[in-house]
Amino acid sequence: MAKLPTYKAGKKVDAVNGLTAYKLSSNEVAHAPLPSVVAAIVDAATEINRYPDPFTSKLNQALSDKFSIPLDQIATGTGSVGVCQQIIQAVAGAGDEVIYAWRSFEAYPIITTIAGAVSVQVPLTSDGQHDLNAMLAAITPKTRVIFVCTPNNPTGGIVTQQKLNEFLAKVSKEILVVIDEAYVEFNRDENAIDGIATLKANSNVGVLRTFSKAYGLAGLRVGYFMGPKNVADAVRKTAVPFGVSNIAQVAAVASLENESELFERVEDVITERRWFESELAALGFNLAPSEANFVWIPLGDRTEEFAKRSEGIAVSIRPFPGEGIRISIGERQALERIIELAKEFVS
Protein backbone atom coordinates (compact mmCIF):
# COMPACT_ATOMS: atom_id res chain seq x y z
CA MET A 1 0.00 0.00 0.00
CA ALA A 2 3.01 2.30 0.45
CA LYS A 3 3.19 2.37 -3.37
CA LEU A 4 -0.43 3.46 -3.68
CA PRO A 5 -0.54 6.94 -5.21
CA THR A 6 -2.47 9.48 -3.14
CA TYR A 7 -5.41 11.18 -4.83
CA LYS A 8 -4.62 14.87 -5.08
CA ALA A 9 -7.76 16.92 -4.59
CA GLY A 10 -7.81 20.42 -6.11
CA LYS A 11 -6.38 22.89 -3.60
CA LYS A 12 -8.14 25.85 -2.04
CA VAL A 13 -6.20 29.09 -1.63
CA ASP A 14 -6.49 31.83 0.96
CA ALA A 15 -7.64 35.35 0.24
CA VAL A 16 -4.63 37.59 -0.51
CA ASN A 17 -4.46 41.31 0.27
CA GLY A 18 -8.21 41.66 0.31
CA LEU A 19 -8.64 39.68 -2.93
CA THR A 20 -11.50 37.16 -2.76
CA ALA A 21 -10.18 33.61 -3.09
CA TYR A 22 -11.42 31.45 -5.97
CA LYS A 23 -11.11 27.72 -6.58
CA LEU A 24 -10.58 26.70 -10.18
CA SER A 25 -8.82 23.46 -9.34
CA SER A 26 -11.52 20.76 -9.15
CA ASN A 27 -13.69 21.22 -12.25
CA GLU A 28 -16.72 22.08 -10.18
CA VAL A 29 -19.40 24.43 -11.47
CA ALA A 30 -19.37 27.79 -9.73
CA HIS A 31 -23.18 28.19 -9.64
CA ALA A 32 -24.99 27.58 -6.37
CA PRO A 33 -27.46 24.67 -6.38
CA LEU A 34 -30.90 25.35 -7.85
CA PRO A 35 -33.50 26.36 -5.20
CA SER A 36 -35.72 23.45 -6.29
CA VAL A 37 -32.86 21.01 -5.70
CA VAL A 38 -32.10 22.54 -2.29
CA ALA A 39 -35.81 22.22 -1.42
CA ALA A 40 -35.76 18.50 -2.30
CA ILE A 41 -32.64 18.03 -0.15
CA VAL A 42 -34.16 19.86 2.82
CA ASP A 43 -37.27 17.75 2.53
CA ALA A 44 -35.26 14.52 2.45
CA ALA A 45 -33.17 15.65 5.44
CA THR A 46 -36.08 14.86 7.76
CA GLU A 47 -35.63 11.16 6.98
CA ILE A 48 -31.96 10.69 7.65
CA ASN A 49 -32.65 8.45 10.63
CA ARG A 50 -33.57 5.82 7.97
CA TYR A 51 -31.21 3.92 5.69
CA PRO A 52 -31.55 4.93 2.05
CA ASP A 53 -33.00 2.73 -0.69
CA PRO A 54 -29.96 0.54 -1.54
CA PHE A 55 -31.15 0.22 -5.14
CA THR A 56 -31.63 3.98 -5.75
CA SER A 57 -34.80 2.85 -7.51
CA LYS A 58 -36.25 6.31 -8.26
CA LEU A 59 -32.99 7.55 -9.72
CA ASN A 60 -32.47 4.39 -11.77
CA GLN A 61 -36.02 4.69 -13.12
CA ALA A 62 -35.45 8.34 -14.05
CA LEU A 63 -32.22 7.40 -15.86
CA SER A 64 -33.88 4.46 -17.58
CA ASP A 65 -36.66 6.76 -18.86
CA LYS A 66 -34.25 9.48 -19.94
CA PHE A 67 -31.91 7.23 -21.92
CA SER A 68 -34.30 4.41 -22.86
CA ILE A 69 -32.02 1.88 -21.23
CA PRO A 70 -33.41 -1.11 -19.30
CA LEU A 71 -33.19 -0.85 -15.52
CA ASP A 72 -31.01 -3.95 -15.26
CA GLN A 73 -28.30 -2.18 -17.28
CA ILE A 74 -27.96 0.71 -14.81
CA ALA A 75 -26.00 0.87 -11.54
CA THR A 76 -25.24 3.87 -9.31
CA GLY A 77 -22.49 4.64 -6.83
CA THR A 78 -20.85 7.26 -4.67
CA GLY A 79 -19.76 9.59 -7.44
CA SER A 80 -18.56 8.21 -10.75
CA VAL A 81 -15.21 7.59 -9.08
CA GLY A 82 -17.00 5.18 -6.74
CA VAL A 83 -18.66 3.51 -9.72
CA CYS A 84 -15.33 3.35 -11.51
CA GLN A 85 -13.85 1.52 -8.54
CA GLN A 86 -16.85 -0.84 -8.47
CA ILE A 87 -16.30 -1.61 -12.17
CA ILE A 88 -12.62 -2.45 -11.77
CA GLN A 89 -13.28 -4.57 -8.71
CA ALA A 90 -16.01 -6.37 -10.60
CA VAL A 91 -14.05 -7.20 -13.72
CA ALA A 92 -10.33 -7.16 -12.89
CA GLY A 93 -8.47 -9.18 -10.27
CA ALA A 94 -4.86 -9.70 -9.26
CA GLY A 95 -2.52 -9.43 -12.24
CA ASP A 96 -5.24 -8.47 -14.72
CA GLU A 97 -4.57 -5.41 -16.85
CA VAL A 98 -6.48 -2.15 -17.11
CA ILE A 99 -5.61 0.05 -20.07
CA TYR A 100 -6.16 3.80 -20.13
CA ALA A 101 -4.60 6.84 -21.73
CA TRP A 102 -2.14 8.86 -19.72
CA ARG A 103 -2.36 11.50 -18.63
CA SER A 104 -6.00 11.06 -17.76
CA PHE A 105 -8.23 10.95 -14.68
CA GLU A 106 -5.98 10.55 -11.67
CA ALA A 107 -8.15 8.00 -9.91
CA TYR A 108 -7.61 5.30 -12.57
CA PRO A 109 -4.16 4.22 -11.32
CA ILE A 110 -5.28 4.33 -7.69
CA ILE A 111 -8.36 2.18 -8.05
CA THR A 112 -6.59 -0.22 -10.40
CA THR A 113 -3.88 -0.76 -7.78
CA ILE A 114 -6.46 -1.20 -5.01
CA ALA A 115 -8.05 -4.04 -7.02
CA GLY A 116 -4.62 -5.72 -7.31
CA ALA A 117 -4.74 -5.18 -11.08
CA VAL A 118 -2.02 -3.66 -13.23
CA SER A 119 -2.25 -0.26 -14.93
CA VAL A 120 -1.22 -0.09 -18.56
CA GLN A 121 -0.85 3.60 -19.30
CA VAL A 122 -0.75 4.58 -22.95
CA PRO A 123 0.69 8.07 -23.52
CA LEU A 124 -1.56 10.68 -25.10
CA THR A 125 -0.43 12.03 -28.47
CA SER A 126 1.60 15.26 -28.39
CA ASP A 127 -1.61 17.28 -28.80
CA GLY A 128 -3.25 15.61 -25.81
CA GLN A 129 -5.47 13.12 -27.68
CA HIS A 130 -6.06 9.42 -26.98
CA ASP A 131 -3.75 7.27 -29.09
CA LEU A 132 -6.23 4.50 -29.85
CA ASN A 133 -3.84 2.60 -32.11
CA ALA A 134 -1.29 2.43 -29.31
CA MET A 135 -4.07 1.39 -26.92
CA LEU A 136 -4.98 -1.45 -29.29
CA ALA A 137 -1.35 -2.50 -29.42
CA ALA A 138 -1.27 -2.56 -25.60
CA ILE A 139 -3.98 -5.24 -25.37
CA THR A 140 -2.78 -8.61 -24.04
CA PRO A 141 -4.59 -11.78 -22.91
CA LYS A 142 -4.66 -10.20 -19.43
CA THR A 143 -6.56 -7.08 -20.49
CA ARG A 144 -9.96 -6.90 -18.76
CA VAL A 145 -11.03 -3.30 -19.12
CA ILE A 146 -10.12 -0.25 -21.20
CA PHE A 147 -11.10 3.28 -20.15
CA VAL A 148 -11.68 5.94 -22.79
CA CYS A 149 -12.07 9.31 -21.12
CA THR A 150 -13.83 11.81 -23.36
CA PRO A 151 -13.59 14.76 -22.94
CA ASN A 152 -10.31 13.80 -21.33
CA ASN A 153 -9.36 15.11 -17.90
CA PRO A 154 -7.07 17.10 -17.79
CA THR A 155 -6.43 17.83 -21.49
CA GLY A 156 -10.06 18.51 -22.50
CA GLY A 157 -10.01 16.88 -25.95
CA ILE A 158 -12.60 14.40 -27.24
CA VAL A 159 -12.36 11.05 -29.00
CA THR A 160 -14.30 10.98 -32.26
CA GLN A 161 -17.03 8.42 -32.91
CA GLN A 162 -15.30 7.34 -36.09
CA LYS A 163 -12.02 6.58 -34.32
CA LEU A 164 -13.82 4.80 -31.51
CA ASN A 165 -15.81 2.67 -33.98
CA GLU A 166 -12.60 1.63 -35.75
CA PHE A 167 -11.09 0.81 -32.37
CA LEU A 168 -14.10 -1.16 -31.12
CA ALA A 169 -14.14 -3.23 -34.31
CA LYS A 170 -10.71 -4.56 -33.35
CA VAL A 171 -11.25 -5.08 -29.60
CA SER A 172 -12.38 -8.51 -28.40
CA LYS A 173 -15.96 -8.53 -27.08
CA GLU A 174 -14.52 -10.18 -23.96
CA ILE A 175 -12.90 -6.89 -22.96
CA LEU A 176 -15.04 -4.22 -21.32
CA VAL A 177 -14.62 -0.75 -22.81
CA VAL A 178 -15.80 2.00 -20.46
CA ILE A 179 -16.39 5.45 -21.89
CA ASP A 180 -15.91 7.91 -19.05
CA GLU A 181 -18.20 10.81 -19.92
CA ALA A 182 -17.91 12.85 -16.73
CA TYR A 183 -17.80 16.06 -18.82
CA VAL A 184 -19.98 15.06 -21.77
CA GLU A 185 -22.57 17.82 -21.20
CA PHE A 186 -19.91 20.45 -21.96
CA ASN A 187 -19.02 18.96 -25.33
CA ARG A 188 -20.13 20.76 -28.52
CA ASP A 189 -18.04 18.84 -31.04
CA GLU A 190 -20.46 16.94 -33.26
CA ASN A 191 -17.83 14.35 -34.16
CA ALA A 192 -17.42 13.26 -30.54
CA ILE A 193 -18.51 9.88 -29.23
CA ASP A 194 -22.17 9.37 -28.48
CA GLY A 195 -21.69 7.07 -25.50
CA ILE A 196 -25.33 6.05 -25.19
CA ALA A 197 -25.67 5.06 -28.86
CA THR A 198 -22.34 3.25 -28.66
CA LEU A 199 -23.29 1.19 -25.64
CA LYS A 200 -26.58 0.26 -27.30
CA ALA A 201 -24.70 -0.93 -30.38
CA ASN A 202 -21.92 -2.87 -28.62
CA SER A 203 -22.29 -5.67 -26.10
CA ASN A 204 -18.96 -4.85 -24.40
CA VAL A 205 -19.32 -1.08 -23.97
CA GLY A 206 -20.42 0.81 -20.87
CA VAL A 207 -20.70 4.49 -20.01
CA LEU A 208 -19.75 6.22 -16.80
CA ARG A 209 -21.48 9.50 -15.91
CA THR A 210 -21.80 11.82 -12.96
CA PHE A 211 -24.01 14.38 -11.27
CA SER A 212 -20.90 16.20 -9.96
CA LYS A 213 -20.13 18.41 -12.95
CA ALA A 214 -22.92 19.75 -15.18
CA TYR A 215 -25.56 18.95 -12.56
CA GLY A 216 -23.63 20.74 -9.82
CA LEU A 217 -23.86 18.03 -7.14
CA ALA A 218 -20.14 17.36 -6.54
CA GLY A 219 -20.60 17.49 -2.77
CA LEU A 220 -23.33 14.84 -2.71
CA ARG A 221 -21.44 12.00 -4.42
CA VAL A 222 -23.61 10.32 -6.98
CA GLY A 223 -22.64 8.84 -10.35
CA TYR A 224 -23.77 5.95 -12.53
CA PHE A 225 -22.84 3.22 -14.98
CA MET A 226 -24.91 2.10 -17.93
CA GLY A 227 -23.80 -0.88 -19.93
CA PRO A 228 -23.89 -4.67 -20.25
CA LYS A 229 -26.33 -6.28 -17.82
CA ASN A 230 -23.76 -8.67 -16.34
CA VAL A 231 -21.42 -5.76 -15.62
CA ALA A 232 -24.20 -3.60 -14.13
CA ASP A 233 -25.11 -6.57 -11.87
CA ALA A 234 -21.50 -6.96 -10.78
CA VAL A 235 -21.15 -3.22 -10.20
CA ARG A 236 -24.16 -3.34 -7.88
CA LYS A 237 -22.61 -6.26 -5.99
CA THR A 238 -19.27 -4.51 -5.47
CA ALA A 239 -20.90 -1.35 -4.12
CA VAL A 240 -20.69 -0.41 -0.46
CA PRO A 241 -24.25 -1.06 0.73
CA PHE A 242 -26.28 2.15 1.17
CA GLY A 243 -23.43 4.22 -0.30
CA VAL A 244 -25.70 6.66 -2.14
CA SER A 245 -27.67 8.61 0.45
CA ASN A 246 -31.33 9.42 0.06
CA ILE A 247 -30.37 13.10 -0.03
CA ALA A 248 -28.07 12.44 -2.98
CA GLN A 249 -30.75 10.40 -4.73
CA VAL A 250 -33.50 13.01 -4.41
CA ALA A 251 -31.11 15.78 -5.46
CA ALA A 252 -30.13 13.80 -8.55
CA VAL A 253 -33.77 13.13 -9.46
CA ALA A 254 -34.68 16.80 -8.90
CA SER A 255 -31.71 17.81 -11.07
CA LEU A 256 -32.91 15.59 -13.90
CA GLU A 257 -36.36 17.18 -13.57
CA ASN A 258 -34.78 20.66 -13.76
CA GLU A 259 -32.28 19.78 -16.42
CA SER A 260 -33.17 22.59 -18.81
CA GLU A 261 -32.35 25.19 -16.14
CA LEU A 262 -29.06 23.45 -15.34
CA PHE A 263 -28.16 23.15 -19.01
CA GLU A 264 -28.59 26.92 -19.47
CA ARG A 265 -25.76 27.19 -16.96
CA VAL A 266 -23.76 24.70 -18.97
CA GLU A 267 -24.20 27.00 -21.99
CA ASP A 268 -22.82 29.87 -19.90
CA VAL A 269 -19.79 27.77 -18.99
CA ILE A 270 -19.19 26.97 -22.66
CA THR A 271 -19.44 30.65 -23.62
CA GLU A 272 -16.96 31.50 -20.87
CA ARG A 273 -14.63 28.68 -21.95
CA ARG A 274 -14.58 29.95 -25.53
CA TRP A 275 -13.89 33.50 -24.37
CA PHE A 276 -11.13 32.32 -22.00
CA GLU A 277 -9.50 30.18 -24.70
CA SER A 278 -9.55 33.04 -27.19
CA GLU A 279 -7.96 35.42 -24.66
CA LEU A 280 -5.19 32.92 -23.98
CA ALA A 281 -4.71 32.21 -27.69
CA ALA A 282 -4.37 35.96 -28.30
CA LEU A 283 -1.50 35.94 -25.82
CA GLY A 284 0.24 33.26 -27.85
CA PHE A 285 -0.67 30.17 -25.82
CA ASN A 286 -1.01 27.14 -28.01
CA LEU A 287 -4.12 25.38 -26.73
CA ALA A 288 -5.81 22.23 -27.92
CA PRO A 289 -9.56 23.04 -27.90
CA SER A 290 -11.35 21.90 -24.76
CA GLU A 291 -14.81 20.35 -24.77
CA ALA A 292 -15.02 20.23 -20.98
CA ASN A 293 -15.50 22.77 -18.18
CA PHE A 294 -11.78 23.37 -17.94
CA VAL A 295 -8.86 24.41 -20.08
CA TRP A 296 -5.45 22.78 -20.29
CA ILE A 297 -2.33 24.88 -20.79
CA PRO A 298 0.78 22.80 -21.53
CA LEU A 299 3.36 24.94 -19.74
CA GLY A 300 5.99 22.24 -19.31
CA ASP A 301 8.83 23.41 -17.06
CA ARG A 302 7.03 26.62 -16.16
CA THR A 303 3.97 24.88 -14.72
CA GLU A 304 4.86 25.23 -11.07
CA GLU A 305 5.92 28.84 -11.49
CA PHE A 306 2.50 29.70 -12.93
CA ALA A 307 0.70 27.80 -10.16
CA LYS A 308 2.73 29.58 -7.47
CA ARG A 309 1.97 32.96 -9.00
CA SER A 310 -1.71 32.16 -9.25
CA GLU A 311 -1.73 31.55 -5.49
CA GLY A 312 -0.46 35.12 -5.20
CA ILE A 313 -3.63 36.35 -6.90
CA ALA A 314 -5.81 34.10 -4.70
CA VAL A 315 -6.85 31.71 -7.47
CA SER A 316 -6.19 27.99 -7.11
CA ILE A 317 -5.59 26.05 -10.31
CA ARG A 318 -4.43 22.49 -10.83
CA PRO A 319 -0.76 22.09 -11.76
CA PHE A 320 0.67 18.82 -13.10
CA PRO A 321 4.37 19.52 -12.50
CA GLY A 322 6.49 19.47 -15.63
CA GLU A 323 3.41 19.08 -17.84
CA GLY A 324 0.83 21.80 -17.61
CA ILE A 325 -2.01 23.41 -15.71
CA ARG A 326 -5.70 22.73 -15.73
CA ILE A 327 -7.97 25.66 -15.04
CA SER A 328 -11.66 25.09 -14.35
CA ILE A 329 -14.08 27.53 -15.95
CA GLY A 330 -15.42 29.32 -12.89
CA GLU A 331 -16.16 32.87 -11.84
CA ARG A 332 -15.41 35.58 -14.44
CA GLN A 333 -13.36 37.61 -11.96
CA ALA A 334 -11.07 34.65 -11.28
CA LEU A 335 -10.61 33.98 -15.01
CA GLU A 336 -9.81 37.66 -15.62
CA ARG A 337 -7.16 37.49 -12.92
CA ILE A 338 -5.65 34.46 -14.64
CA ILE A 339 -5.60 36.32 -17.99
CA GLU A 340 -3.76 39.23 -16.34
CA LEU A 341 -1.29 36.78 -14.82
CA ALA A 342 -0.85 35.08 -18.19
CA LYS A 343 -0.08 38.47 -19.77
CA GLU A 344 2.69 39.10 -17.23
CA PHE A 345 3.87 35.55 -17.65
CA VAL A 346 4.47 35.83 -21.39
CA SER A 347 5.97 39.32 -21.30
Ligand X SMILES: Cc1ncc(COP(=O)(O)O)c(C=O)c1O
What residues line the site for ligand X (CB under 6 A)? Answer: 27, 79-81, 105, 149, 153, 180, 182, 210, 212, 218, 223
Give the long-range contacts of residues 315-318, CB within 8 A, separation 24 or more.
Answer: 315/13, 315/21, 315/22, 315/24, 316/10, 316/11, 316/12, 316/13, 316/21, 316/22, 316/23, 316/24, 316/25, 317/24, 317/25, 318/10, 318/11, 318/24, 318/25, 318/26, 318/154
Nearest approach in angstroms of CB 188 to ligand X is 18
Nearest approach in angstroms of CB 81 to ligand X is 3
Strands (E), 289-335: 294-297, 315-316, 318-320, 324-328
Closer of 22 and 313 to ligand X (Cβ): 22
Closer of 96 and 181 to ligand X (Cβ): 181
Closer of 216 and 342 to ligand X (Cβ): 216
Closer of 294 and 306 to ligand X (Cβ): 294
Distance from the Cα of residue 317 to its chain's centroid: 17
Closer of 79 and 289 to ligand X (Cβ): 79
Nearest approach in angstroms of CB 259 to ligand X is 17
Closer of 79 and 216 to ligand X (Cβ): 79
Nearest approach in angstroms of CB 213 to ligand X is 7
Amino acid at 244: V
Contact 55, 61 (CB under 8 A): no
Nearest approach in angstroms of CB 151 to ligand X is 8
From residue 202, alpha-carbon distances to 92, 144, 169, 185, 223 in Å are: 20, 16, 10, 22, 22
Name the 3-class secondary structure at 92. coil
Closer of 52 and 243 to ligand X (Cβ): 243
Nearest approach in angstroms of CB 211 to ligand X is 7
Nearest approach in angstroms of CB 223 to ligand X is 4
Nearest approach in angstroms of CB 79 to ligand X is 3
Contact 188, 140 (CB under 8 A): no
Alpha helix (H) residue ranges in the chain? 35-45, 57-67, 79-91, 107-114, 132-137, 161-170, 195-201, 229-237, 246-257, 259-282, 303-312, 332-346
Closer of 100 and 276 to ligand X (Cβ): 100
Q: Give me the residue whose beta carbon is nearest to ligand X.
A: 79
The residues, any chain, with a CB within 8 Å of residue 127's CB and separated by 6 or more, are: 157, 288
